[in-house]
């Protein structure tokens, strides 16, 4: 979807395409399976259904087991949860500190 939307803006599309190619299709130090498991974890953390739809299939095609995929989902989900907690708890602490003033 993004490439079609950016097709009329080559000034934005070409750098976007170059970056996505370098990161997702031509990694220098990650093998395909590891890259796809990282993408699954990130897609889980971001709750991106489209990304998950793509990268779950790609992870399996790259040789990731169902257990490896499940663990990548749990890693991303956990990091998302702890991020939300840390933001919320810092806000809560600020609320307490403001009451003390």
Question: Could you tell me which of 27, 25, 56 has the C-alpha nearest to residue 39?
Answer: 56
Query: Which CATH number is associated with domain 31-100?
Result: 1.20.1290.10
Model confidence at 26: pLDDT above 90:
yes
Domain ranges for the chain: 1-28, 31-100
Residue 38 CA to residue 56 CA, distance in Å, equals 11
pLDDT digits (tens, 9 = 90+) for 31-46: 999 999 999 999 999 9
State how far the Cα of 24 lies from the Cα of 41, in Å rounded to an integer: 14
pLDDT for 44-85, tens place per residue? 999 999 999 999 999 999 999 999 999 999 999 999 999 999
- At residue 1, the pLDDT reads 62
What pLDDT, on a 0 to 100 scale, did the predictor assign at position 4? 77
Radius of gyration of the chain (CA): 18
């Amino acid at each position: 979807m993004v490439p079609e939307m950016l097709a009329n803006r080559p000034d934005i599309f070409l750098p976007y395409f170059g970056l996505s190619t370098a990161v997702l299709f031509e990694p220098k130090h990650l093998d395909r399976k590891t890259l796809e498991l990282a993408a699954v974890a990130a897609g889980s953390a971001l709750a991106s259904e489209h990304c998950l739809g793509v990268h779950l299939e790609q992870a399996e095609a790259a040789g990731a087991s169902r257990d490896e995929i499940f663990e990548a989902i749990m890693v991303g989900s956990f990091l998302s949860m702890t991020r939300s907690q840390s933001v919320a708890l810092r806000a809560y602490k600020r609320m307490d500190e403001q009451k003390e003033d």
